[in-house]
């Protein structure tokens, strides 16, 4: 193996991975090598052992290719990610227990005042330069695509029930290095006053960019920055594994402090909304009174209220205000009352089975299915969406009718 060539930009870096507060294993992996200018985060897909195995294969294959410093940075990244992809696919095809395993990842190579990035999926790379934060990679997901073109703002995207769906991954199908729609390559300047952050969605799904920037621009050594970011993700609910690699140019820390107060103010202003990204349902509960009041004074609602109150008086029915709200919601329900029903066996889930979720869901609701196999006839009536919490982790099978 060749030794690393010297870098023109001296780098300081820190990295860590945490299981989070709701997972029993960690499917994330990372690599942090300031000497070579090589940085990588991987998020396994497939559940339990399969997701971990996919991430380990990707880490091993990508390191092996990129530590062999032949070819352009972009070519090396395409080749490395393709090698990982095809090895994951080969192992999954040979072992039924690993069927469906894959991963998403972001790799960065720093050399000669530039960073070249290879990216697949919904992990991210943020660039910090001149007091700003910029998401350099694109999320290869339906929700991320809508966020990138401005159809959704950041917090709407973070709360979206289909947030974790992806349309690109590493390992689910064979690829060649130059396949269109596979590896995203980005090349941007990276100088001594700049920094970058690679992370899995365990951070970006819970901590808004303003809060990330406030931590980064507050200064401190790279490992301290990493630790504070992971603490923020866990404080926001820790719903997933979270992995962070932070890389700073030699002069970034001194340059960053000039912008710290501005970003602290931005993060503070966003805090009331940002703090609820781990619980959009709680947000709806807190604001449902206002929605109900606005709805009650609308013309259709006046008629509905009159009908319900007339029935109540005619039949001698007594209803609490909550019961009345439920009855009215069944007649005319604003779209803002739509909710997500989580199916699974943990304390954070709403119902234990898909059948139960289908019984309680109303038009406009989303049923989010946790990891596992479900043998159940599924008949969806009305505008109810059924989605997997993470791609490939929820499998629906028809019941055996033999």
Domains of the chain: 11-276 (3.60.40.10), 279-336 (no CATH), 338-402 (no CATH)
Given a cut of 50, is residue 285 above it in pLDDT?
A: no
Mean pLDDT, residues 321-345: 51
- Reduced to 3 DSSP states, what percent helix, strand and coil does the chain have, rounded to the nearest 5? 40, 20, 40
pLDDT for residue 9: 67
Angle among Cα 86, 87, 92 to the nearest 5 degrees reads 100
* Residue pair 157/149 in contact by the 8 Å Cβ criterion: no
**Separation in Å, CA 367 to CA 72, 77, 329, 370:** 46, 38, 19, 10
Mean pLDDT, residues 346-360: 75
Q: Which residue in the block uniquely carries the two structure tokens 């590493």?
A: 170
What backbone torsions phi and psi does residue 92 show, to the nearest 5 degrees?
A: -65, -35
DSSP structure string for 46-58 = SSHHHHHHHHHHH
For 93, left (φ over 0), alpha (ψ -120 to 50), or beta?
alpha
24-37 confidence digits (pLDDT tens): 999 999 999 999 99
Out of 126-130, 153-157, 220-224, 391-395, pick the least confident.
391-395
Instruction: Provide the CB-side half-sphere exposure for 43 (13 A, CA).
Output: 29
Query: Residue 281: which pLDDT band, with cuts at 50, 70 and 90?
Result: very low
Pseudo-torsion of CA 254, 255, 257, 259, nearest 10°?
A: 180
What are 15's strand-pairing partners? 245
pLDDT for residue 306: 44
DSSP structure string for 211-253 = HHHHHHHT---HHHHHHHHHHHHHHTT--S-EEEEEEEETTHH
Pairing of strands 385-388, 394-397: unpaired
Structure tokens at 385: 């969406």
- In 3D space, the residue among 170, 196, 193 whose CA is nearest the CA of residue 181 turns out to be 170
Given a cut of 50, is residue 305 above it in pLDDT?
A: no
Out of 84-98, 194-208, 211-225, 270-284, pick the least confident.
270-284
- For the chain, what is the mean pLDDT? 81
Q: Which residue in the block uniquely carries the two structure tokens 């192992």?
A: 91
Given a cut of 90, is residue 177 above it in pLDDT?
A: yes
CB-count burial class (<10 Å; 0-12, 13-18, 19+) for 177: middle
* Residue pair 27/43 in contact by the 8 Å Cβ criterion: yes
Mean pLDDT, residues 189-208: 97
Pairing of strands 366-369, 340-343: parallel
Query: Residue 352: which pLDDT band, with cuts at 50, 70 and 90?
Result: confident
Query: Residue 67: which pLDDT band, with cuts at 50, 70 and 90?
Result: very high
**Separation in Å, CA 88 to CA 51, 75, 83, 108:** 10, 20, 9, 21
Structure tokens at 59: 């880490």
Out of 46-55, 86-95, 115-124, 254-263, pick the least confident.
254-263
Pairing of strands 242-249, 38-45: unpaired
Residue 108: which residues within 8 A CB-CB, separation 6 or more? 37, 38, 39, 40, 115, 116, 117, 125, 196, 198, 247
240-268 confidence digits (pLDDT tens): 999 999 999 999 998 888 787 787 777 77
pLDDT for residue 298: 39
* Residue pair 369/388 in contact by the 8 Å Cβ criterion: yes
Structure tokens at 310: 């007339």
Cα–Cα dist 72/51, whole Å = 30
Query: Residue 44: which pLDDT band, with cuts at 50, 70 and 90?
Result: very high
Q: Of residues 262 and 186, which shows the higher confidence score? A: 186
pLDDT for residue 296: 37
List strand residue ranges (DSSP E) for 54-150, in order: 102-111, 114-120, 124-129, 132-135
What backbone torsions phi and psi does residue 340 show, to the nearest 5 degrees?
A: -105, 130
DSSP class of residue 194? Answer: -
DSSP H/E element including 29: strand 28-33
Pairing of strands 124-129, 195-199: antiparallel
Given a cut of 90, is residue 160 above it in pLDDT?
A: yes
* Residue pair 87/61 in contact by the 8 Å Cβ criterion: yes
Q: Of residues 264 and 184, which shows the higher confidence score? A: 184
CB-count burial class (<10 Å; 0-12, 13-18, 19+) for 114: middle
Query: Residue 152: which pLDDT band, with cuts at 50, 70 and 90?
Result: very high
pLDDT for residue 394: 76
Structure tokens at 309: 């109150």
């Amino acid at each position: 193996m060749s030794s690393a060539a010297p870098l023109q930009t001296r780098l300081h870096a820190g990295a860590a991975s945490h299981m989070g507060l709701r997972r029993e294993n960690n499917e994330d992996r990372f690599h942090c090598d300031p000497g070579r200018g090589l940085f990588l985060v991987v998020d396994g897909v497939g559940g339990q052992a399969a997701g971990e195995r996919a991430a380990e294969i990707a880490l091993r294959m990508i390191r092996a290719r990129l530590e062999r410093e032949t070819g352009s940075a972009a070519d090396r990244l395409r080749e490395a990610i393709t090698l990982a992809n095809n090895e994951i696919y080969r192992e999954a095809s040979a072992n039924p227990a690993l069927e469906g395993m894959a991963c998403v990842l972001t790799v960065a190579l720093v050399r000669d005042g530039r960073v070249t990035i290879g990216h697949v999926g919904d992990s991210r790379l943020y660039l910090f330069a001149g007091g700003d934060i910029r998401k350099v990679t694109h999320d290869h997901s339906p929700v991320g695509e809508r966020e990138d073109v401005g159809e959704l703002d950041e917090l709407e995207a973070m709360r979206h029930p289909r947030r974790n769906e992806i349309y690109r991954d590493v390992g689910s199908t064979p690829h060649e290095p130059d396949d269109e729609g596979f590896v995203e390559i980005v090349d941007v300047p990276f100088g001594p006053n700049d920094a970058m952050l690679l992370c899995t969605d365990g951070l970006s799904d819970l901590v808004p960019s303003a809060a990330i920037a406030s931590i980064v621009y507050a200064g401190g050594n790279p490992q301290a920055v990493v630790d504070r970011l992971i603490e923020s993700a866990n404080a926001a609910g820790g719903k997933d594994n979270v992995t962070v690699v932070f890389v700073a140019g030699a002069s970034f820390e001194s340059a960053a402090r000039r912008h710290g107060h501005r970003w602290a103010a931005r993060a503070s202003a966003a805090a009331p909304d940002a703090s609820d990204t781990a619980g959009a349902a709680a947000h709806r509960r807190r604001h449902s009174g206002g929605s109900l009041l606005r709805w009650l004074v609308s013309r259709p609602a006046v008629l509905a209220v009159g009908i319900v109150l007339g029935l109540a008086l005619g039949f001698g029915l007594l209803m609490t205000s909550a019961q009345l709200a439920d009855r009215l919601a069944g007649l005319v329900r604003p779209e803002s009352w739509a909710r997500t029903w989580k199916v699974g066996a943990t304390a954070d889930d709403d119902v234990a089975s898909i059948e139960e979720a289908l019984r309680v869901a109303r038009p406009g609701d989303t049923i989010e299915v946790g990891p596992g196999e479900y043998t159940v006839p599924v008949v969806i009536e009305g505008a109810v969406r059924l989605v997997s919490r993470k791609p490939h982790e929820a499998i629906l099978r028809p019941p055996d009718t033999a």
